[in-house]
Amino acid sequence: MTLVSVGKLAEPFSQEGCEFFAERIRRYAALNLIAVPEEKIPSRGRREYILKQEGRRIRAKIRPGVFTAVVDERGKLISSEAFAHLLETWSSSGLKEVVFILGGPYGLDDCLKEKADFRLSLSSMTLTHGLAKLLLLEQIYRAFTILRGEPYHK
């Protein structure tokens, strides 16, 4: 399992939380965390340019043919249990790797979203990048505990 995200986490609590859940996930599966640089061009009128540059950096980190799941506000909003069963289905279908993709402050390039195998929404609310990454990692960990019947998920 790989998580490719844009930029560094600004808040110390997000960094600590992400490290905490990443270590817990690694008890169940290999996890690779990759951060690509956020585009530093001023945003006024340049949103599409920023998304294209960040999208190019993300694509450079993903091997062709892997299963990709993007975090997208217009993606599918599902329960923790449904997410756990999705991970189980993906795993049992013979996928060698699932790559989660989390964009930066402006989201993701449309090309990445269109080519993704799955679009996941974490919330109807807007989240900071750090909270979105932390929430995704927590839900991946929760999914493993659900699938194993462990008490954490209650």
Q: Which residues pair with 69 in a beta bridge?
A: 100, 118
pLDDT higher than threshold 90 for residue 112: yes
Could you tell me whether strands 118-121 and 98-102 are parallel, antiparallel, or unpaired per DSSP bridges? unpaired
Fold of the CATH domain 2-153 = Alpha/beta knot (3.40.1280)
β-pair partners for 118: 69
pLDDT of res. 154: 65
- Residue 40 has a pLDDT of 81
Specify the pLDDT at position 105: 85
Q: Give the per-residue pLDDT at 109.
A: 95
**pTM of the full structure:** 0.93
Phi/psi region, residue 104 (left: phi>0; alpha: psi -120 to 50; beta: rest), is beta
Q: What is the mean pLDDT of residues 61-88?
A: 96
pLDDT in tens, 9-36: 888 999 999 999 999 999 999 999 999 9
